[in-house]
Structure 1
Amino acid sequence: MEFQEVVRRRRMVRNYDPDRAVPAAVVDRILGNALHAPSAGFSQGWAFLVLEDPADRERFWEASTDDSEWGVGLRRAPLLIVALSHKQAYLDRYAERDKGWEDRDEARWPVPYWDIDTGFASLLMLLTAVDEGLGACFFGIPPGERTKAFKEAFGVPEAYTPIGVISMGYRAQDKRSPSLKRGRRPLEEVVHRGSWGGPTSGTSPHPS
């Protein structure tokens, strides 16, 4: 599939055919592509928990939510991939000689790149799913007790933070999300050229 077509087709799919498993070779390609995401200092501070067995997936849903009615269609997904970030990997990497931040001070980081980079990897998985003819959806685990219960249920080390979960599978018929009625914001509302709100903001620098 052409890249532009992959981007055009990408959307959050919330209902799946529970009787069609994702082939192992496709799962491997999805995970392999995630490893090509950019990461600060090539720290690669990410991990992916793959849940394919029905019992594991049921354990995930029991641990991560109190509402058995939430995400009925998502619960039919035959594959769940939990994307986890590892902050310490970044602090340690940037304490090395070529970076020199030996104090490992988190305040040096303008934003949490460990989470951002894991998000990049997640997006590559979402795009690969489209390219493989699959549907996928990225959603979060509620903070606090639900995140704690999830980590305990699967033995996730304390140093790792689940930034989100990707459900994947073959799409089943579902209703169009009400959110889509908002439409995509036009370029002129989100693109600022030269300065924010300046004379060139939201406009092309080239004459038409």
Structure 2
Amino acid sequence: MEFQDVVNRRRMVRSYSDEPVDPAVVDRAVRNATRAPSAGFSQGWGFLVLDRPDDVRRFWEVTTEPGEEPDEWLRGMTAAPVIVIPCSSKAAYLDRYAEPDKGWADRDEARWPVPFWHIDAGMATLLILQTVVDEGLGACYFGIPPAYDAAVRAAFDIPDRFDPIGAVTVGHRPEADRVAGSPTRRPRKDPAEVIHHGRWGAPADD
């Protein structure tokens, strides 16, 4: 698939068929994620792949209330046979920039203008989403509510050094998604509204 086609076709898929996902596709997606840029080449990320039914089921069990009736969104999402949990490690970045070649003598988090550990893990996650599209499948990134963070960590032995930044469902698209996302209700902004040249509010030169 041409790169521009991948970009144009990428969207959050919220329901899936019961067709299994080729493990090679998942492997390619997470390996591509490790090609994302990272500040200082810190590579402070980790990717937890849940591709066995019991593990996928456990994820949904620990992120929903007992006895909770699934809504349409949850019914569609739980059909996905694969979940990838990308994680970021602030400690890896603080350690890296305290090394001699970076010139910082301490691990002071205040030196960082923004949390690059989360940004870099987000860019890696986008590579997972794009790879899935390139393979003709669907995916959806979503957040893990803070109330369930500890349960997810405990269920899958995620070390304290890493923080889940969300989760990505992966699977085959059904003929039509059962749950329509925001793009079906909200128009995409015109590029002229969000792209500025030279100074904020200035359009591109004609």
Q: TM-score range by the shorter chain?
A: over 0.9
3-state SS of 1:73 partner: helix
Q: 2:200 aligns with which of 193, 196, 201?
A: 196
Q: Rate the CA distance shift 1:133–1:162 in 2: closer, same or farther, 3 A.
A: same
Residue identity opposite 2:85 in structure 1: V
Any stretches of 5+ residues in structure 2 without a counterpart?
A: none
Normalising by structure 1, report the TM-score. 0.92
Q: Which amino acid aligns with 2:16?
A: Y
Distance in 2 of aligned mates of 1:68 and 1:101 = 51
Q: Answer yes or no: is 1:164 the counterpart of 2:148.
A: no
Q: How many residues align structurally?
A: 200
Match of 2:2 in 1: 2
Distance 1:107 1:68, change over 3 A: farther
Measure how far apart 1:109 and its partner are: 0.4
The answer to whether the aligner puts 1:141 opposite 2:170 as a matched pair is no
**Structure 1: gaps (5+ residues):** none
Report the Cα distance in structure 1 between the residues aligned to 2:50 and 2:70, rounded to whole angstroms: 21
Displacement after TM superposition at 1:65 (Å) = 2.3
The secondary structure found in structure 2 opposite 1:48 is strand
Q: Which amino acid aligns with 1:112?
A: P
Q: Which runs of 4+ in 1 moved over 6 A?
A: none
Matches of 1:68 and 1:131 in 2, distance apart?
Answer: 34
Residue 90 (structure 1) shift: 0.4
**3-state SS, counterpart of residue 48 of structure 2:** strand
Q: Deviations over 1:26-70 (max 9, x none)?
A: 111111110110000000000000001111111111112224514
Q: Larger relative CO (CA 8 A, sep 6+): 1 or 2?
A: 2
Does 2:80 correspond to 1:81? no
| More divergent stretch after superposition (176-185 vs 46-55) | 176-185
CA separation of 1:82 and 1:68: change in aligned 2, threshold 3 A: farther
RMSD: 1.2
Q: For 1:192 and 1:111, how far apart are their aligned partners in 2?
A: 22
- 2:140 and 2:181 mapped to 1: Cα distance? 15
Cα 1:178–1:60 change in 2 (3 A) is: closer
Distance in 1 of aligned mates of 2:11 and 2:113: 30
Q: Does 2:47 match 1:44?
A: no
Q: Secondary structure at the match of 2:102?
A: coil
- Matches of 2:111 and 2:21, distance apart in 1: 41
Indicate conservation of the 8 Å contact 1:83/1:118, yes or no. yes
Structure 2 residue aligned with 1:113, among 113, 116, 125? 116
Distance, in Å, in 2 between the alignment partners of 1:53 and 1:100 is 44
Q: How big is the shift at 1:95? A: 0.5
Residues of 1 paired with 2:42 and 2:106: CA distance? 17
